[in-house]
Amino acid sequence: MSTVNYMQRTRDFYAAQGYERAYVWAHNDEAPFTPLPKPLAQCTVGLVTTAALYDRKPLEPRHVDSAATEPAPERLYANDLAWANESTHMDDPGSYMPLPVLNRLVAEGRIGAVAPRLHCVPTEYSQRNTLENDAPEILRRLREDGADIALLVPL
């Protein structure tokens, strides 16, 4: 397998598109930390991924989406995204939708429950849209599902 120099690749891509300023990655001066409200064995875990529920077209508008965790979707999609698809693939749903592992952890008593839905948040290059629209919507849905914590699985 080869490594992907993602940050340099992104800089080169934006420069080739004619952008005068290099891409600026999101950063936070402070990372908030919130202690668990109860022991992990009593927490409901919500799953959030950047994959989609359907095979999107590259320029198709992206939006937050949700699906039941039982039964889980057979697969998710990310063909419209720029990721290391030479080094990995979407043939193993457990690598980007680890519901079998989460369900096993519930059975073992290590986590309390899996939230009733998984949530797909689009990979969005607009930090403003992510902060103002997608993140609050994901938070609203996780709270609606009774999730105490979220497992983020980016592609």
Question: Cα separation of 118 and 150, whole Å?
Answer: 10
How many Cα neighbours within 13 Å face the side chain of 112? Answer: 18
Over the stretch 86-116, which tens digit does the pLDDT of each residue have? 666 677 787 778 999 999 999 999 999 999 9
Over the stretch 6-36, which tens digit does the pLDDT of each residue have? 778 878 877 888 878 777 777 777 777 788 8
Q: Report yes or no on 122 lying in a domain.
A: yes
Over the stretch 44-93, which tens digit does the pLDDT of each residue have? 999 999 888 888 777 777 889 999 999 999 888 877 666 556 666 677 78
| C-beta neighbour count of 142 within 10 angstroms | 22
Q: Report yes or no on 41 lying in a domain.
A: yes
Q: Report yes or no on 89 lying in a domain.
A: yes
Residues spanned by the domain of 48: 31-153
Q: Which residue has the tokens 């930090």?
A: 127
Q: Supply the DSSP symbol for 80.
A: T
Domain count, the chain: 1
Choose among 83, 4, 24, 9: nearest CA to 51. 83
Q: Report yes or no on 108 lying in a domain.
A: yes
Q: Report yes or no on 55 lying in a domain.
A: yes
